[in-house]
Amino acid sequence: MRALVKMAKGPGLVEIREVQEPRPGPGEVLIKVMAGGICGSDIHILSDQFPYWPPVILGHEFAGEIAGLGDRVSGWQVGDRVVSELHTRACGNCRHCRTGNLQICLSKRAPGWGIDGCFAGFITMPAALLHRIPDNVSFEQAAVVEPTAIAAQAMLDRGRVLPGDLVVVLGPGPVGLLCAQIAKSCGARVVITGAPSDADLRLPVARNLGIDHVINIAEEDPLELVQNLTGGGGADVVVECAGLDVTINQAIAMVRPQGRIIALGIPEVGKQGIIWSSAVFKAIDVAFSFSSKYLDWERALAMIGSGQVRVDPLITHKFPLDEWEIAFETIASGKGIKGLLIP
């Protein structure tokens, strides 16, 4: 089968290769990949800025159809439409695994960087990690379940968003737009901010999704807006999706005393300049959010299926696997929001 492979360590070194079609082992299923989403981490692997173990097939956001069953698999059959959690090779024995937090097991090797991923015709996954795709959700929509589950973990588990909260999302990328929609579904008022480079695509999409206040920071001061909306009190929850010093400090300035900051953005190594003293004086709760758990996937599928979370406006581009370079450049340059590769 044809697959998009990171061949070795270093920038670049990604190419379409003919590789052996995988076979499911005991407890595994073979999945025919119908659509795979391009994530920022895929682009970071291309530029050698994310951990990975080459040679490895890229891609981890996918939806597909079961094409084969390994030994000791029950409850699934060929033809079932599925998505899958990514916690492969979690040890099952450590504190994290035994408390239901496989996503932070130190032995975990997820598809697309630790083991072969989904930018190929087929992928094998443990049956224990599968979730059924509702009949009214397409394969392309289901390919966005993984980032939706990340947003669900951030907003519902780590963020504890409540009806009436004022939630500010800093950064209108795919996960930021998903976080904003989930916050709206909780009954919160939502502000989302973006840079001038977001004005042509991402901010209009945010408006189309019904976000209450969509701010271009070059035209309007988001801190002033938050102060006006709260009578000077500050936001209940600020979701930092950019990983920049300026937005992290902006989150500290915006949030109310004893409010909550949810950290999703990953800063560059060596960055400094965070004004922690302001955070200390406000007694802010800061929760870092990473990956997702079983319930987040069930919630993501339910919210997409019910229309509470709309993913179609986020899917701006679809490419055949052979056009992966154009696809990666389109997403990396901000000309698209969520791009799909169709094997």
Give me the torsion for CA of 290, 103, 310, 32, rounded to 10°: 140
Give me the torsion for CA of 153, 158, 163, 165, rounded to 10°: -120
The string of pLDDT tens digits covering residues 71-116 is 999 999 999 999 999 999 999 999 999 999 999 999 999 999 999 9
Is residue 295 included in any domain, yes or no?
no
| Domain match, 279 and 330 both | no
| Domain match, 26 and 88 both | yes
| Domain match, 129 and 156 both | no
Q: Give the DSSP H or E segment for 318.
A: strand 315-320
Asked if residue 254 lies in contact with residue 226, where contact means CB atoms within 8 angstroms, the answer is yes
What pLDDT was estimated at residue 276?
A: 85
Is residue 298 included in any domain, yes or no?
no
- CA 343 to mean position of chain CA atoms: 21
| Domain match, 266 and 161 both | yes
Residue with tokens 């509702």: 134
| Residue 297 burial (CB count, 10 A) | 23
| Domain match, 71 and 166 both | no
Domain of residue 183 covers: 150-288
What pLDDT was estimated at residue 90?
A: 93
Q: Is the pLDDT of residue 193 over 80?
A: yes
Can you give the C-alpha Rg of the chain in angstroms? 20
| Domain match, 68 and 129 both | yes
The closest of 288, 271, 286 to 104, measured between CA atoms, is 288
The string of pLDDT tens digits covering residues 221-236 is 999 999 999 999 999 9
Is residue 301 included in any domain, yes or no?
no
Is residue 324 included in any domain, yes or no?
yes
What pLDDT was estimated at residue 267?
A: 79
Is residue 300 included in any domain, yes or no?
no
Helix (H, G, I), strand (E, B) or coil at 194: strand
| Domain match, 82 and 26 both | yes
The model's pTM is 0.95
Could you tell me the CATH number of the domain that includes residue 172? Answer: 3.40.50.720
The closest of 112, 123, 126 to 40, measured between CA atoms, is 112
Interior CA angle at 294 toward 293 and 297, to 5°? Answer: 90
What pLDDT was estimated at residue 244?
A: 87
Is residue 306 included in any domain, yes or no?
no
Helix pair angle (174-185, 145-152), 10° resolution: 60
What pLDDT was estimated at residue 270?
A: 64
Q: Is the pLDDT of residue 272 over 70?
A: no
Query: Burial level of 317, CB count in 10 A (0-12/13-18/19+)?
Result: middle
The whole-number average pLDDT for the span 322-333 is 96
CA-to-CA distance for 129 and 168, rounded, in angstroms? Answer: 32
Q: Give the DSSP H or E segment for 120.
A: none
| Domain match, 111 and 28 both | yes
Which of 288, 303, 334 is a domain's end point? 288
| 124 φ/ψ angles, rounded to the nearest 5 degrees | -105, 140
Is residue 250 included in any domain, yes or no?
yes
| Domain match, 132 and 212 both | no
The string of pLDDT tens digits covering residues 275-317 is 888 889 999 999 999 999 999 999 999 999 999 999 999 999 9
What pLDDT was estimated at residue 125?
A: 98
What pLDDT was estimated at residue 235?
A: 98
Could you tell me the CATH number of the domain that includes residue 124? Answer: 3.90.180.10
The closest of 198, 203, 165, 202 to 184, measured between CA atoms, is 165
| Domain match, 275 and 193 both | yes
Is residue 304 included in any domain, yes or no?
no
The whole-number average pLDDT for the span 24-40 is 97
The whole-number average pLDDT for the span 8-13 is 96
| Domain match, 11 and 104 both | yes
Number of domains in the chain: 2
Question: Chain-wide mean pLDDT for the chain?
Answer: 96
% the chain with pLDDT above 70 = 99
| Domain match, 194 and 225 both | yes
Q: Is the pLDDT of residue 271 over 80?
A: no
Provide the pLDDT confidence category of residue 42 given band limits of 50, 70 and 90.
very high
What DSSP letter does each residue of 220-283 carry, written as one string? Answer: S-HHHHHHHHTTTS-EEEEEE-S--HHHHHHHHHHEEEEEEEEE---PPTT-----HHHHHHHT
